[in-house]
Amino acid sequence: MVVLTFLQSVVADYLNIVEVIFLYRLSFENLSVKLVVRDLLIGFLILAIPMPVESLYLILIILYLWLVNREYNRHTLAIVIGVLMGSLYGLIDHCLNLLFIGSHKEPVVVGWLIPIGDLLISIIIGIIIAKFLKPKYQELFKSIKNTKSIWYGALLMLVVYEVVNIVADYEQVADTYYSLILAIDIAIISLGGIVITSFIHNYVNEQQQQQLILNYQEQLKYAKSMNEQFGQLRRDRHDMKNMLLNLQGELIDGNTDKANQLLSSFIQTKTSNHHYQEVDQSLEKLHISGLRNLIQVKAYQIIEQGSAVSIDIPKVINQLPGSEVKTARIVGILLDNALESIKKQDQAYVQIAILSRSDDCYDLVVANSLTEEIDINQIMQYEYSTKPGHQGIGLSNLNQLINQDDQYALIAEVKQRSIIMTCTIQGKVEIDAESDNP
């Protein structure tokens, strides 16, 4: 049995009380001056209550922590910390008594090793909790549903701990059977450590398995979506081929009106009799019929959805470098992206410009308003889309088109709440530009 002076005993008991409380606090929250002062005062209050057995102070500590927060998961941890630290303090005290105090000529002097040793072990445990355990068991307790059952188990461990200490004290067997009590303390510490470690390990494994299941489900969902899109693509290609054959027949017979009607139906656009004069006038200097019609249709769509559009073509353009088909595809993607971006905006606008740097170099510029911050790199990725349940390929397809041809270059930037996409085309202008193969 460890024999201490009255002062040493008071200091040791008080430190043990506040150390257990602080270790509990470290498990769930950051310590503040107000909280520390309150717990220090509560420690004095607990110590002032006379207890026949020192281990019963742990009951008062747990009651105090229950009054502070009555969540079962937190109180379970309070019980576990209290029992483990009580057993650990007993183990440290036995070892220090055996090694230093019992055989020393002046035990009163070395008796201070008891509170100092307990304090050092509490500091070490506190560092382990704060650095390694706190993040894990916080998430662990959040995910546990049957916390009351675990609380009953922790309560049973507390009862066993108290019964052992009370019996040892009342029967005065602490000196005779201190090795047995020491073994019980070690068993409690080991069992508690194994249970906590196993609990955390099982939780981590369960979380990893759930993540694997979620990833597998996402892959299945993605594969199903890709199969559906591939099937739709095959149907669309089949329909397109038949439609083009039909269109070719009308053109061979010279039925241009019928051909135009079929084409409008196929691309799902309505050729309105109403023309927007400002748009038409802005496109007068663009003498490339296909590109002019594309920009005109998209500009009409922008206006009809209630947004503003401006077109700037300062110089007459008869031909552009590069492939006319590829240029039309690029402009179409840029305008479709702008249309999608401004759909839910108030007072939205789109600016379109074809600017000539020289006879062999042109800039195609499409800018539109923004209402929120965007990541340029993200929007250019494959499958990115702002539409729920939709896999976007437009801008990533644009990147692919441009990267395949040295005559094209793309710059995307965000300025003053707008996104500006600039496609530069350079090269010798040819009268019959070669079509590209998609």
Mean pLDDT (whole number) for 142-170: 73
Residue 350: its pLDDT value, please?
94
Task: Please provide the average confidence, as pLDDT, over all residues in the chain.
Answer: 79
Cα(66)–Cα(126) distance, integer angstroms:
21
Question: Do residues 183 and 90 both lie within one domain?
Answer: yes
Using the predicted structure, report yes or no on whether residue 217 has a pLDDT greater than 80. Answer: yes
- The verdict on residue 312 lying in a domain is yes
- The verdict on residue 30 lying in a domain is yes
- The verdict on residue 260 lying in a domain is no
Residue 436: its pLDDT value, please?
42
Is 373 exposed, middle or buried, given 0-12, 13-18 or 19+ CB atoms closer than 10 A?
A: exposed
Q: Please identify, among 169, 195, 213, the residue that sits at the C-terminal boundary of a domain.
A: 213
Residue 141: its pLDDT value, please?
59
Residue 283: its pLDDT value, please?
93
Q: How confident is the model at residue 422 (pLDDT cuts 50, 70, 90)?
A: very high
Is residue 48 within 8 A of residue 38, CB to CB? The reply is: no
Based on the structure, what is the number of domains in the chain? 2
Tell me which of 102 and 305 has the higher pLDDT: 305
Question: Do residues 293 and 199 both lie within one domain?
Answer: no
Residue 366: its pLDDT value, please?
95
**Dmax (CA) of the chain:** 122
Q: How confident is the model at residue 180 (pLDDT cuts 50, 70, 90)?
A: low
Q: How confident is the model at residue 255 (pLDDT cuts 50, 70, 90)?
A: confident
Cα(70)–Cα(64) distance, integer angstroms:
10
Q: Please identify, among 213, 228, 252, the residue that sits at the C-terminal boundary of a domain.
A: 213
Question: Do residues 289 and 183 both lie within one domain?
Answer: no
pTM: 0.46
Cα(164)–Cα(106) distance, integer angstroms:
31
Question: Do residues 62 and 208 both lie within one domain?
Answer: yes
Residues 29-61 pLDDT 10s:
777 888 889 999 998 999 999 888 778 888 898
Residue 234: its pLDDT value, please?
78
Using the predicted structure, report yes or no on whether residue 295 has a pLDDT greater than 90. Answer: yes
Question: Do residues 290 and 183 both lie within one domain?
Answer: no
Using the predicted structure, report yes or no on whether residue 158 has a pLDDT greater than 70. Answer: yes
Using the predicted structure, report yes or no on whether residue 96 has a pLDDT greater than 50. Answer: yes
Residue 390: its pLDDT value, please?
41
Query: Collapsing DSSP states into helix, strand and coil, what is residue 292?
Result: helix
Question: Do residues 287 and 398 both lie within one domain?
Answer: yes
- The verdict on residue 266 lying in a domain is no
- The verdict on residue 402 lying in a domain is yes
Residue 199: its pLDDT value, please?
64
- How far apart are the two ends of the chain, measured CA to CA in Å? 89
Question: Do residues 76 and 178 both lie within one domain?
Answer: yes
Cα(367)–Cα(309) distance, integer angstroms:
10
Question: Do residues 156 and 304 both lie within one domain?
Answer: no
Mean pLDDT (whole number) for 231-260: 77
Q: What is the DSSP letter of 373?
A: -
SS3 content of the chain, % helix, strand, coil (to 5): 65, 10, 25
Q: Please identify, among 176, 192, 213, the residue that sits at the C-terminal boundary of a domain.
A: 213
DSSP string over 172-203:
T-TTTTHHHHHHHHHHHHHHHHHHHHHHHHHH
Residues 350-378 pLDDT 10s:
999 999 998 899 999 999 998 887 777 77
- The verdict on residue 218 lying in a domain is no
Length in residues, the chain? 438
- Unique residue bearing structure tokens 């059977």: 177
Residue 1: its pLDDT value, please?
54
Tell me which of 287 and 243 has the higher pLDDT: 287
- The verdict on residue 254 lying in a domain is no
Q: Which of these ranges, 79-83, 117-121, 166-170, 410-414, has the smallest mean pLDDT?
A: 166-170
- Unique residue bearing structure tokens 């510029």: 365
Q: How many angstroms separate the Cα of 29 from the Cα of each of 76, 123, 152, 383?
A: 16, 17, 24, 42
Residue 103: its pLDDT value, please?
57
How many CA atoms, within 13 angstroms, populate the side-chain half-sphere of residue 114?
29
Residue 432: its pLDDT value, please?
47
Domain of 371, CATH number, reads 3.30.565.10
Selection from 350, 333, 327 nearest residue 420 by Cα: 350
Selection from 67, 79, 81 nearest residue 128 by Cα: 81
- What is the extent of the structural domain holding 189? 6-213
Residue 360 backbone phi and psi in degrees, to 5: -115, 10
Query: Collapsing DSSP states into helix, strand and coil, what is residue 343?
Result: coil
Tell me how many degrees the CA angle 433-380-402 measures, rounded to the nearest 5.
20
Tell me which of 319 and 178 has the higher pLDDT: 319
408-415 and 418-426 strand pairing:
antiparallel
Question: Do residues 152 and 17 both lie within one domain?
Answer: yes
Using the predicted structure, report yes or no on whether residue 11 has a pLDDT greater than 80. Answer: yes
- The verdict on residue 258 lying in a domain is no
